[in-house]
A and B are shown apart, each in its own frame.
Chain A
Amino acid sequence: MGNILEINNVSKTYGKTAALEAINVSFEEGKIYGLLGRNGAGKTTLLNLITNKFEATTGEILLGKESVWENPNAQSKICYMTEKNMFPKEFTVLQLLKSSFDFYENFDLEYALNLAEQFKLNIGKKFKTLSKGFESITKIIIALSTDCPLVLMDEPVLGLDAAVRDKFYRIFLDNFARKPRTFIISTHLIEEVSGIIEEAVIIDSGRLLLKKPVEEMLQMGYCVAGKSNNVDKYAEGRKVVHSEMVGNFKTITIYEPVSQRDNQTAASLDLEIVPVQLQKLFVHLTGD
């Protein structure tokens, strides 16, 4: 499938500080992406550039083959669930849903009202009086009810408890199955989305660090655990990015793909090989 979004050499600077530096990345149609990065890495800046909030200092962002900047056609195909509140203060939830219906072509108002009911969201309430969790739910409902081919979500589960998060992920996947399109989910809860996203895009200090399918990313490293002196023997000459010791039991994370021979070596030293978690890999990759 083709690319829906291409980010070509995009930088954004504020005065002298660079929020994004020479980002080159593209997103395919019909995939769920995770946009991962530490606080202040530039995730939200990138989403803001895609959605016409401000202009990139250099480079261009293309939706299809058209630049997104000040382009009504491109912008009508993107839906952005911001983390911050951008809605008029006085609007009720119902008014917000109706305004989305007025401005987005093919906004499914019936589906939106149905979701509101499923999440027990009181649509008569003013948006500004909602709790953090219900604010997120309102924004989620709007994003899922459009049929924009590109949907961006910034911290979608902010303020949601575990049960509601679970419900959200199920409704989200059901929605994705019904209307496959490109989702870019920016989040800190990496382990929680690691099964849901197909590819991860990691940004660190304004630069693109990595873009890979999650499955492949998890093959990039592995953990070895066992008796500490045996682990040390195994570690010799390998790229160890992290080690942890409890008593005489040591676990190390190696940033190399595991081979058949590694398996044999580990077995001979009475060591156990376990896959690395995305969250841990992320911490190593973006660590100081």
Chain B
Amino acid sequence: MKVSFDNEKSIYIQIAEAIKDDILKDIFEEETQIPSTTQMSVSYRINPATAAKGVNMLVDEGIIYKKRGIGMFVASGAKEDIRNSRKNEFFDKYIAAMIEEAQKLGISREDIIDMIKGGEKKHG
């Protein structure tokens, strides 16, 4: 699990997002255990209550579930859920922002499309 904290968002949201990222990248597979809030607290030097708040957010979203006395596990179907919600965010987060930035810079629609094609080639 990798978190490099920035000041843009609350720490617990960043914890939740880092866990989601790792689920998407199959670092945490479905029905496997994720690190305890204690481990997260010590590794990232944060208050355990903050770590627990991040995890509880994911529990509420149905991405993580608790097994009493054992720990927290990734729910089956979690990866699909995360992917769907990220897709919904994709337009707001990237496309809308891109269009706005392009207007500032005076980049035309065609240029943007060309850039996307070029970028796709680079990344194979």
In the complex the two chains form, is A173's CB within 8 Å of B45's CB? yes
Which residues of B are in contact with A by a Cβ distance under 8 Å? 5, 7-12, 38, 41-50, 53
In the complex the two chains form, is A275's CB within 8 Å of B47's CB? no
In the complex the two chains form, is A177's CB within 8 Å of B8's CB? no
| Cα distance A173–B37 in the bound complex, in angstroms | 11
Most buried by B among A173, A195, A198: A173
A174 adjacent to chain B (CB < 8 Å): yes
In the complex the two chains form, is A169's CB within 8 Å of B8's CB? no
In the complex the two chains form, is A170's CB within 8 Å of B45's CB? yes
CB-defined A-B contacts under 8 Å, sample of 18? A169-B45, A173-B45, A173-B46, A173-B47, A174-B38, A176-B41, A177-B41, A195-B45, A195-B46, A195-B47, A195-B50, A196-B46, A196-B47, A215-B12, A218-B10, A275-B8, A275-B9, A275-B10
How many interface residues does chain A have, given as a range? 10 to 19
| Cα distance A156–B105 in the bound complex, in angstroms | 51
Contacts of B48 in A (CB 8 A): 173, 176-177
A277 adjacent to chain B (CB < 8 Å): yes
In the complex the two chains form, is B8's CB within 8 Å of A32's CB? no
In the complex the two chains form, is B42's CB within 8 Å of A195's CB? no
Chain B, residue nearest A30 (CB) = B49
Digit string of A193-229 for contact with B (CB within 8 Å is 1, else 0)? 0011110000000000000001100100000000000
Closest beta carbon of chain B to A192's beta carbon, Å = 9
Most buried by A among B11, B38, B47, B49: B47
Contacts of A177 in B (CB 8 A): 38, 41-42, 48
